[in-house]
Structure 1
Amino acid sequence: MGEDRRVPQRYGWIVSALVLASSGWFLLWSTVGAGPVWLGYVAVPLGGMVAVVALHRLWRIVRPEPVAGRFWRGLLIGAAFMTVGYVHMAVNAIRYTTGDDPPDMTVPAAATIALGFGLAMWAVARVPVGATGPGERRRRTLDRTIAFLGCSTLLWYFGMAPMITAEERWSPQTLALVGLAFLMSVVSITKVSYLGGGPVDPTALRLVAGIGLTAAGVAVLATTYGDAGGPPSQAVVLPLAPLLLVLAVRAQWSAVLRPRRTSRRSSPSLLPYLAVAAVDVPLVAIAAGEVRWPDRIVLVAAVVVSVLVVVRQFVAFRDNARLLHDIRAHEERLQHQVSHDSLTGLANRAMFRDRLHAALAGGRGATVLLVDLDDFKTVNDSLGHDVGDELLVSLAGMLREQAGEGLPVRIGGDEFAVLLTGGTTVGETVAQRILDALTSPISQHRLLMQASIGIATAEPGATVDTVLREADVAMYAAKQRGKAGYVRFLPGMAEPVLAHMRLGGELRRALDQDELEVVYQPIVALDTGRVVGVESLVRWNHPERGLVMPGDFIPAAERTGLIADLGRFVLDRTCRQLAAWLAEFGPAAPGHAGVNVSARQLHDPGFVAHVLATLDGHGLTSDRLVLELTESAVLRGSQVSRTLHDLDQAGVRLALDDFGTGESSLSLLRAFPTAIVKLDKSFVDGIEIDDADAAARDARQAVARAVVQLAGALGLEAVAEGIESEAQAEQLRALGYCFGQGYHLSRPLSATALTTLLSSRQRALTGG
């Protein structure tokens, strides 16, 4: 069976009985002279033996814990040596005691007991008092030094000095043991005054330290009564040492079985202040009598203690000053964190509202600029959030420079604000400075960004929410007008803007409730009139607004992030319908279907996989799909470029829509895997014979001729958009165009209407 882990109660009862019996014997001996004096020397070695057994059992349990095992092992060895010494004393007393005179302490007994005391002191001194920093260790060292000197001075004056100066000389071994007892008591007291949590139970450690007090008690009896102090020391005081050891074992045993939560941080000790008072006691005694040489040691100790107290108070004052400074700095940091944005360091929304409320409550004018970066999500999607964060930090620095005396604020995300308290025209001035600053690249990545700014000035009686709402409406209006500009809020502006904002919210419902319809505009061979392909267009049959055109709800889809869902809806409907036409009409069906794609879709890392999965799901080969992109969508960074090349490698054809209207059209044909170019409608309008404006006609014809020749040279297919008359169709055929689309050839048709058209043309061709 394993080690019995029950608390050893019996050891305590045995030693307690020995203490009571020995004290009872001394009482009888001192009053009626009962028994020989050597009986008083028996209780200590017997109690020591019991204590050694208890310590050994405890050590076997706690030795896996390094600190506790080391402490109790040292205490066990020390107790064993002390017990051996006291056994030697008892044997010597039994053999050589005559009458009532106690025997002299032998040198071997004194040496053995001294070694045991030393080992016990060393075990106590090595116990850590808790984890502290360098400053705390310095303060504790000062406190312990003060306490040590104070207690030592008191024991020196009333204990050691009388023994050293006594007319009857004490034996060297007795003086050594008394001095060691004093030293142990002082060391133990100063040690246990600073205890935190740890593997050694604090109660057990204090009980062990109390052994030093018993030794000090023996020394005081010896200096007070001389040889007559021997019997009470051996019979009454010293038996308490084994009892304290056994009680310490019991406390540690209980702590092992029932661990307590203890703080690693000790409480402030009053011992240094008590030590100062202890120094004053012998000083008062010296002042009332003649000064002797031991008294000079007391005076020196008192001076040293006084100096150390001054140093300690200085250290405490300095530490308190540093602590107060750290507390104030911490409070300032907390206050800054509460009122400022952690990324940019600008004031945050809470501080902005407080300042705006204070300005309105104080009757001062207040103008708010709401600044929103255009297409910031594109930066995050294509370059990563780290680059986006660097951009926001750079923008914050620019706002600090351009805001003047205004308060720049980060509201959240890519939305910023500037609070101004000047006149009504200062808003436009600061807004223009911000826009001018954005004409140059910002951040270490040299990004060229744009921003939309809404301006609102507080009217009499305005609230914080009113001003912010008006600034938000003005900012939204700036985005509607083409971005990269500012708009001041004017009465009557809110209703149409809010209606447009609500339109974005209703678009989610439209997708869920199938209010959207895909229509198809045929792409026609100009020489035969055959439908060679279709372009998919989306229409919204709103239950209250009626037909909503893409120009109205596509921007709302972009703003709300629904453009991706809308794009997936159109792609799925188009592929499903094209597969149905191919199954029904075979070679007479449209050869491909074109779907418009936004820049935000191209930034989606999963876009290519979704396109290919949709084609596969409807049984279509990749060459049946044409994705139509504008030049502005193509010019959107590395992520877009990777997406376009992946689509091209998968066999999906790409069409460059509205070709010729941008500044980089020709370079795009070389940089991107384009398969089709679609001549913009602006070059088709007026391309027919028109004597009223021959120069404009010639210019349009020159552009149209250049585009088709360039497409032919690069092996690309050219499609003319916006054909609205037969004359335009004839002119384009003459210039070399084979394919076109427009209202003259066919308006966008529903799937049913286009199916009917394809059926009629098939019957006409077959003569059915």
Structure 2
Amino acid sequence: MRRHVIAAALICLLGTLWYGLWVSLSPGPVAIGYLFMPAAMATGGLAVRALRRSVPLAPAGRRFWVLLEICCYLFATGFVVLAVDAFRFGPELPDMPPGGAVLIGGGVLVAMWGVAQVPLGVTSWYERGKQWLDRMIAFLGCAVVLWHFGIAPMLWAPEPWTVSALSILLLACLFAAGSITKVAYIAGGPVDRRAMRLVASTGLAAAGVALLAVLEGYHGILPGQAVLMPVCGLLIALGCRRQLSAATNPVPTGKGNVWLPYLAVLAVDVPVADVLVRSWHWAPGVWEGRLVVATAVVVTGLVALRQYVVYRENTRLLREKQESEARLRHEATHDPLTGLANRALFRQGLDTVLATGPATVLLADLDEFKTVNDSLGHDAGDGLLVAFADVLRAAAGPDAEVARLAGDEFAVLVPGDTTGEDVAQAIATATAVPISDQRLLVKFSAGLATAPRGTPASDVLRRADAALYAAKQRGRGNWVRYAGGMERPASAHARLGGDLRRALDAAEFRIVYQPIVALADGRITGVEALVRWEHPEKGLVSPADFIPAAERTGLIVPLGRFVLRETCRQAAAWLAEFGPDLLDKAAPNVSVRQLHDPDFVADVDAALADSGLPANRLVLELTESAVLRGQHVSRVLHELHDMGVRLALDDFGTGESSLSLLRAFPAAIVKLDKSFVDGIELDEPDTPAAHARQAVARAVVQLADALGLETVAEGIENQEQADRLLRLGYAVGQGYHLGRPMPPEKLTEIFAARRVRAAA
């Protein structure tokens, strides 16, 4: 490519040097000046051919360069025909022969077609129409200048020009105007925009030839042939080099020149002013002045149309901007799922109402909403929230404001002296039947608080929240009105959650182990791990107090991870010290929140790997409600089973689907709930309930034996219960009679004493 560029540049240089020598010394015939143009265009064609063979091009880009190569060869051939005539007629400057004119004109048309085929990257009809309007304004502005100062003077020149020459120059000027207009809007694509600009600049060379012809007449033809026109071949070769460079180093896509139509409007004013100043344009038979003015009128009309389009577009953009701002304001103050006000808007409305009078706030949330989410999926949960929001709107009435504060927590602002009980009763009536697309029967808990004028909104919400907490403490489906002192249990519960995080960081939790004992000989076969909290100020905190708080705050996940790792470590240490036959199972409890943790399986695997405890010695105890939590939990349980970890169903027999669970759940151990052990030692049960307990205990052990499962009886309080369970078929049990939960040091002493007895 460099050779082609150098060759084209040398041809241009030789043409310029030759013309300078010819003007001063007249060396050789005039016809030599006609050889530089065909040589330069042939070189440009060869450059295009080399480009097409050097790099792969997109179909649109390849089509453009093929048409440009054809144009170069047509130009070269046409100007060769002109050069032959120049040698034939000697010193006289030849007229354009018809054959050459046809070839050159065809080259111009091919070039115009190639430029027109270059895509601009505009797809929509609206944008395409706007661009065509802009390009028409720019084209007419450029064309009228070239016409007025280039072609028109040649038409009315004292020495008439041939039709062939005028036709070629007219086509060249059209190509110049069209190329400039087209190139201005190319932002990127299959043809590099800089390469396209170099090619389009060849039209300026043609305009320069026309200007020389106007200024110098026939005397301007020779410098045009020898100096100006060979530049076209050089520009084409440079464009090819630029395209080749862009293929290896792409240029970022830019923007079109939006200022070109405005320059075109200014350009139209120049020939209009010239027409008005020089009177010959209005002479009889000269219609050039009228054409210029008519073109200026058309351009002005197109500009007015373009401004109208811009006005319409700006109006549309302004309307969309206003709609977008309104939508953003709505989204900032409303819940996207239910369309209700959010917490910020609700507080703002509450402040406004309290500034003028009393107000009642009702806080409500759905009982067991998390169960719906876990068992039926989040789509069902979202549908339930939307349905409950509709219930609240209908129950609250048009004067009340309803908001979704967070999750399944909603608020109703009842202005005036209304107490809110009627709203709560209306909600209860509406939820007494199934709601949502899933036809779910749900219950709700609510807290009400009424405050006089001037009360801070935060105080009202805090009182309503305390009442809601009190309602939940009483069970499902209750609403409670705030009374003085209700904040204390709620605030203590909230502080308990904060203490849990601190206790985890301060290592205040301890693990105690309750023995699991063989009923036949009293030998300890396993342990159940239980967590205890030794608070530095409150002393021993009951698990019944802190486990629900850990579940609610999500801290049950790191707490459960601690229990799991410590249990595995301690069990592995006992096996290493007292032998592999010491314990058959070490059983920490697992909550449903842990099963939903995406890292739970990895945590179990890491705990086993770090401690060295065999996977079959680890038993994870789960309640029936935890197992019935959807596909994710089921997948996790099967992954644990595949690892070799054993799973135990705790509190078996108390759920609604206990028997069906044994088919779907990969259980290895069934733990009979304490409620079926109480009173089982009585020989003659005096109540149907006691008789049913014995029947259930007998049925569970028979079912477990049939399925190949191990059974453990929980809550054994005396030897009579242990003996009766042994006769029923239970081999293993646990309870305070067999062994209370104890620290690991105490169990270590028991294991050591057992080893001494065995040795003796």
TM-score w.r.t. length of structure 1: 0.72
Alpha-carbon contact 2:556-2:594 (below 8 Å) kept: yes
Residue number among 253, 258, 265 corresponding to 1:273 in the alignment: 265
CA positional deviation for 1:540:
2.4
For residues 311-331 of structure 1, what are the alpha-carbon distances to aligned partners after superposition, in whole Å with 9 as ceiling and x for unaligned?
Answer: 545544444443434444444
For residues 228-249 of structure 1, what are the alpha-carbon distances to aligned partners after superposition, in whole Å with 9 as ceiling and x for unaligned?
Answer: 7111233368732323653565
Alpha-carbon contact 2:71-2:107 (below 8 Å) kept: yes
Counterpart of 1:211? Answer: 205
SS at match of 2:171: helix
SS at match of 2:415: coil
Counterpart of 2:690? Answer: 701
Change (3 A) 1:351 1:216: farther
Alignment of 1:554-569 (within 5 A): 554-567=547-560
Residue number among 49, 52, 59 corresponding to 2:39 in the alignment: 49
**Separation of aligned partners in 2, 1:293 and 1:474:** 94
CA positional deviation for 1:458:
6.7
**Separation of aligned partners in 2, 1:357 and 1:466:** 11
Unaligned runs of 5+ in 1: 29-33, 222-227, 690-695
Alignment of 1:295-374 (within 5 A): 311-340=305-334, 347=341
Residue number among 226, 231, 237 corresponding to 2:219 in the alignment: 231
Residue number among 377, 380, 389 corresponding to 1:399 in the alignment: 389
Residue number among 12, 15, 29 corresponding to 1:15 in the alignment: 12
Change (3 A) 1:180 1:503: closer
Alignment of 1:350-499 (within 5 A): 387-403=377-393, 404=396, 405=398, 409=403, 414-418=407-411, 420=413, 422-423=415-416, 430=423, 444=437, 479-482=472-475, 485-486=478-479, 491-499=484-492
Alpha-carbon contact 1:456-1:471 (below 8 Å) kept: yes
Alpha-carbon contact 1:346-1:396 (below 8 Å) kept: no
CA positional deviation for 1:83:
4.9
Alpha-carbon contact 1:520-1:534 (below 8 Å) kept: yes
**Separation of aligned partners in 2, 1:215 and 1:463:** 86
For 1:501, give the aligned amino acid.
A
Alpha-carbon contact 1:105-1:173 (below 8 Å) kept: yes
**Separation of aligned partners in 2, 1:730 and 1:160:** 119
Alignment of 1:78-89 (within 5 A): 78-79=71-72, 81-86=74-79, 88-89=81-82
**Separation of aligned partners in 1, 2:171 and 2:448:** 86
Alpha-carbon contact 2:145-2:270 (below 8 Å) kept: yes
Counterpart of 2:708? Answer: none
Identity, % of aligned positions: 40
Change (3 A) 1:563 1:108: closer
Alpha-carbon contact 1:146-1:308 (below 8 Å) kept: yes
For 1:46, give the aligned amino acid.
F
Residue number among 243, 246, 249 corresponding to 2:234 in the alignment: 246
Alpha-carbon contact 1:38-1:93 (below 8 Å) kept: no
Change (3 A) 1:435 1:607: farther
For 1:273, give the aligned amino acid.
V
SS at match of 2:512: strand
Change (3 A) 1:232 1:603: closer
SS at match of 2:385: helix
CA positional deviation for 1:214:
2.3
CA positional deviation for 1:559:
1.8
For residues 576-627 of structure 1, what are the alpha-carbon distances to aligned partners after superposition, in whole Å with 9 as ceiling and x for unaligned?
Answer: 77788899999998987775554445556887897799799777795x8876
Counterpart of 2:101? Answer: 110
CA positional deviation for 1:263:
1.1
**Separation of aligned partners in 2, 1:235 and 1:580:** 103
Please, which moves more after superposition, 508-517 or 206-215? 508-517
**Separation of aligned partners in 1, 2:94 and 2:198:** 34
CA positional deviation for 1:388:
1.3
Please, which moves more after superposition, 467-476 or 201-210? 467-476
Root mean square deviation of aligned Cα: 5.7
SS at match of 1:239: helix
SS at match of 1:263: coil
Alpha-carbon contact 2:347-2:457 (below 8 Å) kept: yes
CA positional deviation for 1:106:
3.1
For residues 202-240 of structure 1, what are the alpha-carbon distances to aligned partners after superposition, in whole Å with 9 as ceiling and x for unaligned?
Answer: 54245222123124325645xxxxxx7111233368732
Alpha-carbon contact 1:54-1:246 (below 8 Å) kept: yes
Change (3 A) 1:300 1:586: closer
Counterpart of 2:509? Answer: 515
Residue number among 673, 678, 687 corresponding to 2:673 in the alignment: 678
Please, which moves more after superposition, 533-542 or 742-751? 742-751
For residues 641-676 of structure 1, what are the alpha-carbon distances to aligned partners after superposition, in whole Å with 9 as ceiling and x for unaligned?
Answer: 67778989979574552856x666788789876744
For residues 263-319 of structure 1, what are the alpha-carbon distances to aligned partners after superposition, in whole Å with 9 as ceiling and x for unaligned?
Answer: 143324225535764785698569955477888877876776676556545544444
For residues 87-115 of structure 1, what are the alpha-carbon distances to aligned partners after superposition, in whole Å with 9 as ceiling and x for unaligned?
Answer: 554554455357xx744443344344434
Change (3 A) 1:460 1:73: same
Does residue 194 in structure 1 map to residue 185 in structure 2?
yes
SS at match of 2:651: strand
TM-score w.r.t. length of structure 2: 0.73
For 2:132, give the aligned amino acid.
T
Alpha-carbon contact 1:518-1:750 (below 8 Å) kept: yes
Alpha-carbon contact 2:650-2:672 (below 8 Å) kept: yes
For residues 27-73 of structure 1, what are the alpha-carbon distances to aligned partners after superposition, in whole Å with 9 as ceiling and x for unaligned?
Answer: x7xxxxx859964x644533553564466457635762636666566
For 1:707, give the aligned amino acid.
V
Counterpart of 1:184? Answer: 175
CA positional deviation for 1:395:
0.6
Counterpart of 1:60? Answer: 50
For 2:12, give the aligned amino acid.
V
Change (3 A) 1:331 1:142: same
Change (3 A) 1:281 1:425: same
**Separation of aligned partners in 1, 2:107 and 2:688:** 114
CA positional deviation for 1:504:
3.3
For 1:138, give the aligned amino acid.
G
Counterpart of 2:540? Answer: 547
**Separation of aligned partners in 1, 2:198 and 2:318:** 37
**Separation of aligned partners in 2, 1:132 and 1:671:** 57
**Separation of aligned partners in 2, 1:85 and 1:705:** 114
